[in-house]
Structure formats: C-alpha cells, structure tokens
Amino acid sequence: MTSLPTRAIGPFTVSAIGLGCMNLSHAYLPRPDAAQAEALLRHALDAGVTFFDTAALYGFGANEELLGRTLMDRRQDFTLASKCVLAEIDGRRGLDGSPQAIARVLEDSLRRLRVDHIDLYYLHRLDRNVPIEESVGALVRAKEAGKIGAIGLSEMSAATLRRAHAVHPVAAMQTEYSPWVRNPEVAVLDACADLGVAFVAFSPLGRGLLAGNSHAAALMPGDLRAGMPRFQEPNLAANLILVEKLRTLADQAGCTPAQLCLGWLLAKGPHVVPIPGTTSIAHLDEDLAALSRDWPDDLIAAVDALFPFTAPSGPRYPRDAQAQVDTETWEGEPLA
C-alpha cells in the first residue's frame, strides 16, 4: 500500500512515480557512498514509492546487491524490477539475448537481490543476433518456473513489441522519455496503449539537465553523460537555452522544472510511469511532490511547444549506444 497516487504495470499496482536506481551505482558521477545510497532507498520506500528499478548491468551487479541488502526486509511493500541481456561479460559491458545467457544472468540477479522471484523482468536491449521470440521464450520459461512475475522490454520499437507480445503478453516497455526525448511518440507509446502495456519512462528529467542539475563543467571524467553529444559543445550551450526557457515556464506555473517534466509525462497517458533517479533525498521529495498537483492542459501544451522533436541540439546517444537501441527515430533526427 502507498499514500501516493498509483498506476498499473501488468498485474501490479505501483506508485505513479517509481525510482530508477541506476545512478546509485552506475554511469553518473559522483556516486553516493553506501550509507547515503541505503538511506535514499529507505526514504523512498517510507515516502510511498512502491516501484524500484534496477538491472544486472548497473555497477556490474553492485546495484542489485545494494537493493538486496537494503530493501528485502520489506519485500512485500514494493514491486521489484530488474533486467537482463545487457550485463558483465568477461569483465566488460556485453549484450547477449540468448536463452542460455538470460537464464544465467537471472540466476545471478536473484542471488544478488537475495530473492527467489523478481516481479518484473526486462530484456534490457534487443540483441539483433537472436530473434526476439527466442529471448521472450526464455522469460516465459522463467515465469513458468516462478522466478519472475511479468515480462518487460526496454528501448524497443512498436514492431518489436508486437512480435514479443504475440509470444506472451508484455507488461511494460521501458524507454527514455522526457520533453527533450520524444521518440516514444513516434509509435511505441501508442502501441503500448493499444496493447495494454505500461510505459515506464526512464531519464524523465533529461539525465538531470532539464532539472538544472547537470552542466558540462560539473561532469566528472568517467561520467556517462560526458560522452553524450547533447552534453558536449556546441550542443550543450544551445540545450542550456532550452533549460532556461523551461525554468521560466516552471516559475510561472509555481513548480520546479523537474516537477514540470514529471507532470508533463504523467499527463501523456494513464499508462505512463516515470522513474526518475537521484542520489538526493531532497530531490526525491521534490519529484514526488509532482503527484500532489494538477497539470492543466495549457501548461502541458506549453511544454510541447517549447520542445518539438527538433528542439534539442545533438544526437541522443553516441554511435555505439545508438546501435544498441531499437527505438524509432523521428524523420530527420540527427544520429551519431
């Protein structure tokens, strides 16, 4: 139970805003120490968050271990999601969607999480060397064995979703979605609505930039964002102009830019569940406060107008990362 508004993901009722746990252990710098990360997770649960999202990839298992030692004494209080296919292979990030690899990664995740069942288990990316039907089939067998409860996909297209859904109902599609990444609106957001699939929006605050929390000067060497074109000059300077315009709009609406981004997403459909990530308890509380107010149509339309598909400067991903996503691109989108 939660005091927050709720939404449905497959058979689960979850807080309408969940918590993306990646940056507690992976990708972004600086990272919190163990005590800070554990305190953030416990605070989220106490504040009513009932949807926690991790993956085998994050910290090469460290994020799952963090959740395992911190939250599992309250396992009945939340819905747990993790992911396979992207994981550590021979000490490096690797992609393997074969049934054998999926089964192996799942067993490792169960051990690290200290559970015998993961509620929602995603294929983190599409392995183009393995038919999606085979990868989904591995998850079906895991579900039949009682090791997972529902099946999800991440960063995949409407066409791939429909192929997967024909094998077994898909509970959730997780893809980056925010005012400056509107690719889901090309096709997959509507496909989810048509099929009754929840849409889980990761990086809903533009990887921190739209919330005013990330500037190039503050990015440490090794931070994933430093290699992303939108965080590099001259793109960054142009994108920061958009950020300031968003801040002005939020000030006029009496909210923060982060809250406005989350309100915009919540207004995109009852099947949309944003999962912002943060290392700050204050920022977490700020995010959750977006659930306590109404978001009028004219304000949502103003965000739409500020961020047409062509507004952001630079590709979303560098070349290697773009090659691993199956999401639709919009006509004319710059690709690395």
Active-site residues, by number, are 58
Which residues have C-beta within 8 Å of that of residue 314, sequence separation ≥ 6?
Answer: 228, 229, 230, 232, 235, 239, 334
Residues 224-247 as b or e (16 or more Cβ within 10 Å = b): bbeebbbbbeebbeebeebbeebb
Q: Which two tokens stand for residue 96?
A: 């393997």
Displacement of CA 216 from its chain's centroid (Å): 22
Task: In whole angstroms, give the CA distance from residue 289 to residue 286.
Answer: 5
Q: Which two tokens stand for residue 198?
A: 């929840």
Phi/psi zone of residue 13: left (φ > 0), alpha (ψ -120 to 50 degrees), beta?
Answer: beta
- Give Cα separations from 179 to 42, 174, 184, 319 (angstroms): 29, 16, 11, 22
